[in-house]
Amino acid sequence: MHCSQVGATPSGTELPRDHCERMKVYKDADAPLSECPPEKDCKWRFFWRIGERPTDTEFGELNAEPVTPKAFPEWKEKMDRWGSKLLACGRAIAGMAEEGFGLEKDSITLMMDAAPHLLAPTATDFSKFGKVSSPMQ
C-alpha cells in the first residue's frame, strides 16, 4: 500500500506490476492487451478507507485520515455506507468459508477487524484514452 492511497490518484500516477515474462506463454487471441513493459495507468482512482482503523499499530502511515471532496458534502456518508455493505458481504463469505473448510467460527472473520480495507472507485477518461495503446498525455 502506498501513502498516495488516500483521496484522488490521477491518471499517470500508478504503474502496474510487470508480468511480461508470464504473459509470453499466451499466443495471439489469448494474449493480454497490456503493454510490456507496463506503462503508467490512465485511470483515476479515489481511495477511501472503510471499516475501523487499528488503535495500536506500527504502521500509522497506512491509516492516514480520509480526504473528503468539498464539492460532495454527502461523500463520507455514501462511501461509508457503500463500504460497510461490501465489508458485510465479505464477512458473510468469510463465514461461509470457515464453515465449508471446517474451521473454527471467526477464525477468518476476526482477521478482518481493524484491517486496512480500501474502497477505490476507478474511472478512465475515454475521450482521451478510448483506444487500445492510447498514449498517456
- Using one digit for the tens of pLDDT, what is the confidence trace for 8-44? 889 998 888 999 999 889 988 888 877 888 889 888 9
42 neighbors 134 (Cβ within 8 angstroms): yes
DSSP state of 133: T
Q: Reduced to 3 states, what is the DSSP secondary structure of residue 137?
A: coil
3-state secondary structure 65-109: CCCCCCCCCCHHHHHHHHHHHHHHHHHHHHHHHHHHCCCCCCCCH
How far CA 126 is from CA of 34, 37, 42, 47, 130, in Å, comes to 17, 22, 9, 21, 4
What is the per-residue pLDDT across 71-122, written as a single tens digit (0 to 9) for each? 999 999 999 999 999 999 999 999 999 999 999 999 999 999 988 888 988 9
pLDDT at residue 136 above 80?
no
The pLDDT-based confidence of 137 (bands split at 50, 70, 90) is very low
* CB hemisphere CA count around 5 (13 angstroms): 12
Residue 135: pLDDT band (50, 70, 90) is low
Q: What is the mean pLDDT of residues 52-79?
A: 85
Predicted pLDDT of residue 112: 93
Query: Where are the chain's structural domains?
Result: 7-129
Q: Name which of 18, 2, 113, 5 is nearest 65 in CA terms.
A: 5
